[in-house]
Chains A and B, each alone.
Chain A
Amino acid sequence: MIESHLPAYIALTFVLFSLLIPAFGIWRNELSQPIAVLGSGIAAALSLYGFIDYLNDGAIRYYFGGWEPPVGIEFVYDGLSGFFVLVINVVAFFVLIHSYHIGNREFPGKEMPYYTLAMLMMLGFNGMILTGDLFNLYVFLEISSLSGYALLSIGNKPAPYAAFRYLIIGTLGGTLYLLGVGFLYTVTGTLNIIDMSAMLPQLFDNHAVFVALILMIVGIGVKAALFPLHGWLPDAYTYASSSSTALIAPIGTKVAAYILFRIVLWLFGIELTDAIAPLLTIIGVLAAIGILYGSIMAIAQSELKRMLAYSSISQIGYIIMGLSLANPWGFAGALLHVLNHAVMKACLFMVSGQLRLKEGHSDISRFDDSYRKKYPWTMAAFTISAISMVGLPPLAGFFSKWYLVLGTIDNSNWLFLAVILISSLLNAVYFFRIIEKVYMKNPVSGQKEASDATRDEAPWSMIIPTSVFAIGLIVIGFANAIIVTILLGIYPL
């Protein structure tokens, strides 16, 4: 019973809880966060159940109101959407647990609207992933975006401005996407993804279809921070509150990447995408530039959150590069990296939130080795995530790079191979810099002895999520063969 309605239940959970939170929150503000955690927990459990069900029984197509496509709107729970839904809901669950103390400090008294917006945003993300209708996707895109803009505007003084800039360019992107959908509708007469994918191969050299594809890629590329449409990301992530960033950073760009996967691999297919112009190559090159650009800029940063923001631009580049390779290894590597990066980045942003909570700042030049004594668990989680980002086995980050490397070799794309290797080195530079600062006495400045500092670790509700993610990276690393076998099975071609 649950299985057939599952896609709707996941979205419904978030709708329900986005109503429950104001209901209870007006009465008692402190209830907002626990209810939000409960809601995302239910959604995460449903996602897990659904994915296991998918592995056993296959995809679920849920028709809203009983109207069959192409007349009605449907939710499609297949391997790709099931995987993404699982990743984002589990990550969101832990981040919401973690946000309790940050809320107290960074937006006291405003928990009710904050968590309502968080629920709405998760609704939007889940809807985007699950829907099988292009216009419905636009609606959910806007739902998630608008709540996202609002969430990102809570934070430091420049936060509303950063959120406004994101709003302008994000809405522009969404509108371009909508225009693309309009072109496709004009040509095919349907909005249903599965339906349209059957029609498109016959429209091989139709220019409207080609332009639609470009519009959609550009539009979604804004959301995915594809170079050169990434300009909104550093400011938006830096100035927002720590838990907003921790919620949006691991999830937002991934969902946009999902849409790109869906459009390029499922809706259009590789031959059609490359029919008139080598779009996949162009996307791949842009992704490669983004990888290098993000890594280089990250090295230049002195503030932890901004460094992580540029690092995110770099990492999403890996995923899109994996897409552009259009072969099974690249696909598996990209999807595995979706999982890995979501976990790693969530952990890193949560750690930065903990440091801000305890120290009042996350300025790298002011890190010193008293952190090692004061926050052992926090810095341990940071170190594990950092080593995974650099890509050292047996942590998860190594394996997604391994499969991407195999993918580039399959295409004889030596340039991309070099980009992946060089960027791993660059990652090592900016992460080891912090590890050096935290674990070792600074020999030049001769600060106070670290042993003076006493343990002042962050509260349990913050340690547990970061530790779970850190351990999760080790587990994913060892279990990646199982995961990748599933992912290879999802590959549509």
Chain B
Amino acid sequence: MTLTYIPLLAILVSLAAVIPIMLSSKKPNLREFWTILAGVIKFGLVLTLLPGAIEGRSVELHLMDLAPGIPLALNADPLGVFFALIASGLWIFTSFYSIGYVRGAGEHKQTRYFASFAICLSATIGIAFSANLVTFILFYEMLTIATYPLVIHNEKKEAIHAGRKYLAFTLTAGLLLVAASALVYHYTGSVEFTPGGLFQGLELPHTSMLVIFILFLGAVGVKAGIMPIHGWLPAAMAAPTPVSALLHAVAVVKSGVFAVIRVVGYVFGTDVLGAYGLNDILIVLAGSTIILASLIAFAQDNLKRRLAYSTVGHLSYIVLGVALLTPLGMQGGIMHIAAHATMKITLFFCAGAIYVNLHRTEISNLNGIAKVMPWTMAAFTVGSLGLAGVPPINGFFSKWYLALGSLEGDMLIPMFILIISGLMNAGYFFPIIHRAYFKKGEGLEGYGEASPLMVVPLVLTAILSILFGIFPNLFFGLFDLANSIAISLF
């Protein structure tokens, strides 16, 4: 079946682009062409998998054995296709934006930048399509290594320390993942991701399950930004903004929450997790992360850091939704992966545009910039409103389902946390908007919008957020996809 190799091709296409990128380092336009080409092809390939995914079908591919009995296997199941679609689609936007950003900011080592980006996307799609834990570990660690050059891109002291912190957190997480996977293999004899989990019928003692769960939490919680192991995320804001935008709002952190869904739904199984009561830990951690992150966001004056803490909070929306162990909650969580991605990437794009254009990074400096950068601030407003949960932007929709999931599970506290957090979101975003539109700015004479290469993508992602909010199934049937995934896990 020709369809079988598409998952592999989707992963390899951007890896294949690395060599041309490195070879065309002297010709920037040619080099960027390779990036765009790879992105478009990748997105196209994933798109071909979409119809099957909506119907609930998966595409499997077994490559060689990585260990006796454990193959390097890909499985483009609906959840994987969902994540791959978002990652690859948003990469195209980010690539255009990157071009504008690195050229506008005069960044050095652009070839290393674009090459690393390409490898990162390969790793992300690999994570999306991994069929078992060992393949997953492979791509997870590949993502860590590939993002490191991007985090330390500036090579300033701050960036290098951020890189060390990043590695410390993520490598430890990787090791915990190895230990957890080995334990799963030992107890169940398998590492395959199976809807309903691997522990069906096994009556393991509570302590064992707890230990394995904690190990997994430690492993995926780092990338998913669960407090208190979220520390690398704010530090990683030292990276250039497109890196922060795609990787830390979309690819790396969404890999983390994706991993959470895999662990909850496909390794443990929702009923097993509920039977042992392990999801309560997750609810507590996610809930406190949401509140704490929002509180800390208030205190940040650096725009990117405020966005970083906002990301930490919103990631835990997804984790909370998953932890509720109800179909609607799961659906809300999955939808929020897409929603938060489009909205947050818009906000980061805006932050980058402001930096490149006006060289301003602190919020207190952003008075009156809406006059000179109207499109940027308009997009920023859209993103902020969406994150605060204002309809008709797609953030409202996912939050609605999260709240429904909370009610479905007879739990009121998560719903209250969501409501309070929505208010807090408004609380830390609206002042920025207020400043930009209604305060008098200084030193803004002679400045206009940032380069179209940056502004067009961010306007487009903002429009996408609105469109997906009004028509959730527009273009890609994301709503139905999330629905079918959620139901398949219960």
Note whether A and B contact each other (Cβ less than 8 A). Answer: yes
Interface residues of chain A, those whose CB is within 8 Å of chain B, are 387, 390, 392-394, 398-399, 401-403, 405-406, 409-410, 417, 421, 424-425, 428, 432, 436, 440-441, 443-444, 478-482, 484-485, 488
Q: Are B160 and A440 in contact (CB under 8 A)?
A: yes
Knowing A405-B178, A443-B155 touch, does A480 contact B67 (C-beta < 8 A)?
yes
Residue of B nearest to A451 (CB): B108
Q: How far is the CA of A258 from the CA of B137 in the complex (A)?
A: 31
Contact status B160-A405, CB under 8 Å: no
- Listed by A's residue number, 27 A-B pairs whose Cβ atoms lie within 8 Å are A390-B171, A392-B141, A392-B144, A393-B137, A393-B138, A394-B66, A394-B142, A402-B134, A405-B178, A405-B179, A406-B182, A410-B186, A421-B175, A421-B178, A425-B171, A425-B175, A440-B155, A443-B155, A443-B156, A444-B157, A478-B72, A480-B66, A480-B67, A481-B67, A484-B68, A485-B68, A488-B68
Cross-chain contact A402 with B141 (CB below 8 angstroms): no
Nearest first, the 5 A-B pairs at minimum CB distance are A481-B65, A393-B138, A421-B175, A405-B182, A409-B186
Residues facing A in B151-208 (CB within 8 A) are 152, 155-157, 160, 163-164, 167-168, 171-172, 174-176, 178-179, 182-183, 185-186
**B467: A residues at CB distance < 8 A:** none
Contacts of B275 in A (CB 8 A): none
B299 at the interface (CB under 8 A from A): no
A409 to B174, CA, bound (A): 17
Does B64 reach chain A (CB closer than 8 Å)?
yes
Residues of B54-97 whose CB lies within 8 A of A: 64-68, 70, 72
Q: How far is the CA of A421 from the CA of B179 in the complex (A)?
A: 8
Chain B residue nearest to A417 in the complex (CB): B179
Contact partner of A424 (CB less than 8 A), chosen from B64, B67, B175, B185, is B175
A436 to B182, CA, bound (A): 31
- List residues of chain B with CB within 8 A of the CB of A390: 171
Chain A residues with CB below 8 A from B72, complex form: 478
Q: Interface centre among A401, A417, A440, by most B CB within 10 Å?
A: A440
Distance of A399 Cα from B68 Cα, bound (Å) = 11
- Chain A residue at smallest Cβ distance from B172: A425
Let me know if A484 and B182 touch, CB within 8 A: no
In the assembled complex, the Cα of A485 lies from the Cα of B388 at a distance in Å of 55
Query: Can you name the residue of chain A whose Cβ is closest to the Cβ of B69?
Result: A481
Chain B, Cβ-Cβ closest to A332: B68
Please judge, given known A-B contacts A387-B145, A393-B138, A443-B156, whether A409 and B64 are in contact too, CB under 8 Å: no
Instruction: Judge whether A478 and B67 touch: CB under 8 Å.
Output: no
Q: Which of A405, A406, A425, A443 contacts B157 (CB 8 A)?
A: A443
Q: Of all chain B residues, which has the CB nearest A478?
A: B64
- A484 nearest CB neighbor, chain B only: B68
A287 vs B145: C-alpha distance when bound (angstroms) = 30
Q: Which residue of A lies closest to B64 (CB)?
A: A478
**Distance between Cα atoms of A384 and B182 in the complex (Å):** 25
A441 to B154, CA, bound (A): 10
Shortest distance between the CB of B45 and any CB in chain A (Å) = 22
Please tell me if the beta carbons of A392 and B67 are within 8 angstroms of each other in the complex.
no
Q: Which residues of A contact B168 (CB under 8 A)?
A: 425
Q: Is the CB of A481 within 8 A of B155?
A: no
Cα distance, A394 to B172, chains bound together (Å): 17
Q: Which single residue of chain A is at the shortest CB-CB distance from B182? A: A405
The answer on a CB contact under 8 Å between A481 and B182 is no
CA distance A415 to B174 in the complex (A): 19
Q: Is the pair A394, B138 in contact by a Cβ cutoff of 8 Å? A: yes
A321 to B163, CA, bound (A): 33
Task: Give Cα distance in the complex from A283 to B144, angstroms.
Answer: 35
| Chain A CB within 10 A, most for which of B157, B175, B186 | B175
- Give the complex CA separation of A401 and B141 in angstroms: 15
Q: How far is the CB of A399 from chain B (nearest CB, A)?
A: 7
User: Within B2-44, which residues are at the interface with A (CB < 8 Å)?
Assistant: none
Sample of 8 more A-B contacts, CB < 8 Å, known A387-B145, A393-B142, A394-B142: A392-B145, A398-B141, A409-B182, A432-B167, A478-B72, A480-B66, A481-B64, A488-B68
Q: What B residues does A403 contact at CB under 8 A?
A: 67
Taking each of A387, A390, A394, A403, which has the highest tally of chain B beta carbons within 10 Å of its own beta carbon?
Answer: A394
Contacts of B167 in A (CB 8 A): 428, 432
Docked-complex contact B175 and A402, CB < 8 angstroms: no
A303 to chain B, nearest CB (A): 22
Closest to B112 in A: A439
Q: Which of B119-166 contact A (CB under 8 A)?
A: 134, 137-138, 141-142, 144-145, 152, 155-157, 160, 163-164
B319 to chain A, nearest CB (A): 24
Shortest beta-carbon distance, A415 to chain B, in Å?
Answer: 13
Asked if residues B183 and A409 are in contact (CB atoms below 8 Å), the reply is yes
Instruction: Report the separation of the CA atoms of residues A405 and B145 in the bound assembly, to the nearest whole angstrom.
Output: 22
A480 to B183, CA, bound (A): 20
